[in-house]
Structures are given as C-alpha cells and as structure tokens.
Structure 1
C-alpha cells in the first residue's frame, strides 16, 4: 500500500495548537508520512530533487497549512513554485508521476465557518479562496477532493483540538480507501 504523504507548511509550527493537533493525530497512522516542511527547509531553500524524490512514493498527497491572509503561507508558495515548476514545465515526464495521486488540502482558519460566505466577514467561501490550489491539482492531473478545514482554529479548547484530530484521521482513512 502506498503511503499518504502529508506536507505540513506552517511557518511557526511551535505556535500552532491546531496544526500540531492535526499532525499528532496523523502521525499515529502507519500508512501516513508527515513532513514538517519548515523543519525540512529552515533556510527557505528548497532542494527540488529531494522534494521530487519524496513525492515519488506518495499514493496520496495532503497539503496541510494555516490559511493566512486568504492564501497559503509563503513557504508553501515557494515550494510550489520551485517543485511544481520543475516537475511540470522543466521535466514534464517526471511530473507525470503525480497524475492520479489524490490531493487533499487540510487548512486551518482563524475565523468561524460563517465568516467565509458572501455576506460574511471574509466575503468569499473557502472553496473560492482555495480555487488556485484546485486549479493546480487539475493542471498536475491530481484528483481534487473536498478540502478538510478546521474553522476557528485558534479558539479551540483541548476537546475541540482532539475532535479536529479525530475528524482528520477519519478523513485520511477515507482518502486512502
């Protein structure tokens, strides 16, 4: 069975209770490999060859991150620019290795779900804010799955964090099925 590769892009994972809870829950699964991308690239320099090698073994790919100012964190964008440009524009034969690999976006958001609506504080639904990632999945030939989003992430108490972790594990199981 090919593994589920989770790439966690949090610029300061020690400060994120929600992303830490998701990561801890996922690490308990034997078919999951979780990589803290900040620890992997502390200087911000992405080793494209190493990243391509990491992706080669993935049966499913999860991009886990906090939504920051309606977008992915800068380290994730830098990773995408370096790795996906290499795989799909410079070496497209290598990029084909991701075709058919399911993609799950696992995002944490500070506000409540109702804020992500046309009449909400953030004006747009989460699906609209994540549209660039869906377009990227399409371009890479990766089947898009409905995102896993933890709303009000910075306000969750211990039981809320535990529930988010359990829901994440259930979603990872579903992704692998």
Structure 2
C-alpha cells in the first residue's frame, strides 16, 4: 500500500521550477509516490479504473498543482469529475466508502505575493478561500481535510527559496504521516 500518494496536476511540469522542487523533495521520502498526471493523461482521458485503484491503495492523498485563474488546472477538474463522481455518486459502497477518513492535503503554488491574496490585494481573496471548493469536496467525500501547503511568489523565487519551500514540504508530509499514525 502506498503510504502517501501525491497527484501532481501541472500542465507544463517541465518548465515549473517550484512544482518540480516540491515533487522531487516529496519523491525522496520513503513511502511517498508522486504521479505526474499530465504525463499520464496528456489527452485528458482519465482511466477511472486505474485512478480508483490508486486512491484506494493510498493512506494519505495530496493534490499538488499551480493555482491558475483562481482555480485548479483543467486536468484536476476532469479527474474529479471522472474519479470522484464515480466513487462517491455511482459506486459509493464499493469504492467511495472505502476512502472515507483518509487525510487529503492540497499543495498549491501561486505566482503572486501573499499580500495579493488579501481583501485589499489584487486577487481580493485569500488563497485558502480560493481553495474552499476543494475543502467542500473533501468534506462531501468524507476525507479528512488538512491545512493546505501554500507557496507564494514562485515566479520570482530563487533557488534558495525553492529549496527552503521543498524542505518545508517534506516536513509537512512527515507531519501528515505522524498525525495520522497518532
């Protein structure tokens, strides 16, 4: 059983310095599996059977992505529609109920500075507020919502800042594991 499953949804992962740094740090952790969903489904056609099996084999789930226009990348939304709709509306007893209680954490990167995500900032809302639809989804699916891991200003971040974010991400993943074990 995969202990921590990180589903990485990035439309241009190869050019992403921030998400690559995070994924590499996470992938170095024992019992952690990072799946590049865009590489797996470049045409957007999701294999729901494989994804259901992947989720059911995980003890903890992390959705990692860049925030794009105040939302998730399109492939993450398509994945939710194909996989979660099946698990929680069509085959709840056989699939969805088996996932209940597992922790779900969001790891999101944003190109702008934290102050831009305030009522007086350019984006009007906090990043946590913009993630509320995912929190509602976790609630509806019976998943244990965890405090999101957020990285701001990734477009201008230097190598040192990205290394620090990656290190902190690995620590947050370790905390997620420890909390669940307690």
Work out the CA distance in 2 between the residues paired with 1:56 and 1:143: 15
Unaligned 5+ segments in structure 1 are: none
- TM-superposed deviation, 1:2: 5.2
Residue 24 of structure 1 aligns with which residue?
Answer: 24
Number of equivalent positions: 177
Describe how 1:5-154 pairs up with structure 2 within 5 A. Answer: 5-93=5-93, 94-154=95-155
Q: Per-residue displacement from partner, 1:104-145 (whole Å, max 9, x unpaired)? A: 000000001111111111000112100000000000100111
Q: What residue ranges of structure 2 are gaps of 5+ in the alignment?
A: none
The runs of at least 4 consecutive aligned structure 1 residues that moved more than 3 Å come to: none
CA distance in 2, matches of 1:36, 1:96: 26
Where does residue 157 of structure 1 map in the other structure? 158
Matches of 2:126 and 2:163, distance apart in 1 = 25
Shift of 1:10: 0.2
Whole-Å separation in 2 of the counterparts to 1:162 and 1:127:
23
TM-score (norm 1): 0.98
Which residue matches 2:177?
A: 176
Q: Report the alpha carbon displacement of residue 83 of structure 1 after superposing the two structures with TM.
A: 0.3
